[in-house]
Amino acid sequence: MKSLLRYLKDYKKESVLAPLFKMLEASFELLVPLVMAAVIDVGIAQEDRPYIVKMCFVLIALGLIGLVCSITAQYFSAKAASGFGTGVRHALFEHIQKLTFTEMDTIGSSTLITRLTSDINQTQSGVNLVLRLFLRSPFIVFGAMIMAFTVDVKAAVIFVVVIPVLSVIVFGIMLVTMPLYRKVQSCLDRVLLTTRENLAGVRVIRAFNKEQEEREKFEQENQTLTDAQKFVGRISGLMNPLTYIVVNGGIIALIYAGAIRVNIGDLTQGEVVALINYMSQILTELVKLANLIITVTKAVACGNRIGSVLNIQPDMEDGDQILSVENIYPAADGRQSGQKIPAVEFDHVSLTYKGAGGESLTDISFRAMKGQTIGIIGGTGSGKSSLVNLIPRFYDATQGKIRIFGKDIREIQIESLREHIGIVPQKAVLFKGTIAENLRWGNENASDDELEEALAISQAKEFVDRKPDRTEFQIEQGGRNLSGGQKQRLTIARALVRKPEILILDDSASALDFATDAALRSAIRSMKGSPAVFIVSQRAS
């Protein structure tokens, strides 16, 4: 959690002013019992109505000044907390983008979504409450005790006994609940994972009539989360009754001792009322402090979870070389001299996934020249996708070397490397927006003519022409309003817009009929620039 506090550095002024104004409000609040004591001892005892009216105006003034200070503090604390949450959210999202596929596979997307949403919201609420109450509540607790000593030393001894007992209760419960809140967040991760899987695979669940089983599984995990929350809630719920018992016991002791002291003339009635008011203030503030500690406990647990993700260092180091046309074809006679340089070369490459029992790829060597088409065929789980995923460096080979145009891919900047590669993954993923916006993911500066060319090569032009507004047709989230074949053709077009030197089609034509598939491959072979094409397919043709 400490590592996250650096995101408050741009809000130093707000972080200082918020508690400062809260303490000003608390200072005016501590004066109220003394004014009330004066009203009772002077105004009421002597039947001095003008004095009572004057003191009432003083109380109103103290209330208004305290209100202004409170609103100002709320403004500064909300601004600082919102800025903190925004900073953490941006930093976490940016860090997740840097993680390799290996780390993403290890952590799990459901956990990362929880970190980005629920956990950050909890830490933001914690920062907000800390700025508002962390100094104010202890200030009033100890301030009330000090003010009680100025009223009467003997009666104030009760405060000295009550406050340590309350502190033991509050901090004891905090220490017990902190690890339990971490467990609650882990249960929330599992519920989110199940929910996400059910929503993503709803068609499969219905096809196999598994709705009841999935519902039972969700209810079981939801019940586990509920039980964990109930358990920690019961422990946290002890805070209020225990503090009320101790403080009300203190008030009883004050009334008893005060009555005896008033009877013998050592104390006035107003001073007893002031002491009781100070004890009530302590009760109110300790209840606030208890709620603050519960929120802060959650916030610290969530902050540590966020910090654990931010502390993960990507195991893939970026290279320092830039892959450009000039680097690929350095000779004066242009590209012709570079035709003999392999576009992709595997040199005794092996791959073992993290935590796997054995190698997924073993001792693979081959060369692919520009203009060549490489077909990769094999059974399910034979490592076809693993092989092509090594080319754009989604994973690093555990043994051997991979060269792109004669350069080791570990020495090339990842961003520069991927600019020369067009990849169409197994699962066709489209984003909400127009067809043109989705295609320009491949090249944000692509002209309309280049989009049309990519659509024609990918065999998507025929159905795009039938859509209203053509390339301005709105695609829903995940491409829900398109068929499987249409989605695949658009993802292929998106890769072609980049005009890559290397094109990878990872089983991306499985939803196409044989005629469209053949027309697609024929169009790709006739592309300008003659890219090296890798086709992963279940079809031997």
Q: For residue 378, which phi and psi values (nearest 5 degrees)?
A: 180, 170
The CA distance from 397 to 352, in Å, is: 8
C-alpha dist (Å) from residue 186 to 198, 216, 219, 224, 309? 19, 20, 16, 11, 14
Selected residue with higher pLDDT from 467 and 216: 216
Which tokens is 158 given?
């009760």
Which tokens is 102 given?
């290996």
Q: Residue 541: what pLDDT?
A: 62
Which residues, 6+ apart, have CB-to-CB distance to 280 below 8 Å? 247, 251
pTM of the full structure: 0.67
pLDDT in tens, 23-60: 888 888 888 888 887 888 777 777 778 888 888 888 88
The residue behind tokens 């009929």 is: 513
Q: Residue 486: what pLDDT?
A: 81
Q: Residue 307: what pLDDT?
A: 84
Q: Provide the residue count of the chain.
A: 541
The CA distance from 1 to 124, in Å, is: 12
Q: Residue 310: what pLDDT?
A: 85
Across the chain, mean pLDDT equals: 81
The DSSP code for 105 is H
pLDDT at 371 exceeding the cut of 70: yes
Which tokens is 113 given?
């979504």
Find, among 482, 441, 371, the residue nearest to 451 by Cα. Answer: 441
Share of the chain above pLDDT 90, in %: 1
Q: For residue 534, which phi and psi values (nearest 5 degrees)?
A: -110, 120
Q: Residue 436: what pLDDT?
A: 83
pLDDT at 334 exceeding the cut of 50: no
Q: At what angle do helices 120-133 and 269-310 cross, to 10 degrees?
A: 150
pLDDT at 406 exceeding the cut of 70: yes
Three-class secondary structure of residue 503 per DSSP: strand
pLDDT at 330 exceeding the cut of 80: no
Find, among 441, 485, 480, the residue nearest to 464 by Cα. Answer: 485
The DSSP code for 477 is G
The residue behind tokens 């051997």 is: 400
pLDDT at 333 exceeding the cut of 60: no
Structure confidence at residue 359 as a pLDDT band (50, 70, 90):
confident
Structure confidence at residue 326 as a pLDDT band (50, 70, 90):
low
The DSSP code for 422 is E
Selected residue with higher pLDDT from 397 and 174: 397
Selected residue with higher pLDDT from 318 and 241: 241
Which residues, 6+ apart, have CB-to-CB distance to 274 below 8 Å? 33, 34, 36, 37, 147, 151
Q: For residue 156, which phi and psi values (nearest 5 degrees)?
A: -70, -15
pLDDT average, residue stretch 338-367: 81
pLDDT average, residue stretch 406-411: 84
Query: If you write DSSP's letter for every residue of 175-188 in order, what string do you get?
Result: HHHHHHHHHHHHHH
pLDDT average, residue stretch 309-322: 79
Find, among 499, 497, 496, 475, the residue nearest to 487 by Cα. Answer: 475
Which tokens is 208 given?
């196999």
- 52-61, 69-78, 408-417, 502-511, range with the lowest pLDDT: 502-511
Amino acid at the residue 520: L
Q: Residue 96: what pLDDT?
A: 84
pLDDT at 78 exceeding the cut of 60: yes
